[in-house]
Amino acid sequence: MEEYVPIGFFIFSIAIVNAGLAEQKGRSRWIWFLLSLILGPLATAMIVIWPAPQRSSSPVSVEAKSS
């Protein structure tokens, strides 16, 4: 009997890895998980190639607002 990995297991594994990559880049874990189920390895390339979203450079603290 040949051993093989079913394609569904492969795509699900890729989706989990992509969710972790997306979270590290500051993106939504669930959205990228779902996109990865649809797009597969193409979603991996998109996560790796696209730069992380820019954060605002001047955070406003709660103390500064109340003063």
Task: Kindly state whether residue 21 falls inside one of the protein's structural domains.
Answer: yes
The contacts of residue 12 (CB under 8 Å, 6+ apart) are 37
Say how many domains are in the chain. 1
**Looking at the domain assignment, is residue 61 inside a domain?**
no
Residue scoring higher pLDDT (61 or 19): 19
What pTM was estimated for this model as a whole?
A: 0.69
Give the pLDDT band of residue 1 (cuts 50, 70, 90): very low
Residue 67 covered by a domain: no
Range of the domain at 29: 1-51
* Residue 57 forms part of a structural domain: no
Residue 2 lies in a domain: yes
pLDDT, one tens digit per residue, over 7-54 is 888 889 999 999 999 999 999 999 999 999 999 889 999 999 998 888
DSSP 1: -
Of 15, 5, 9, nearest in space to 40 by CA: 15
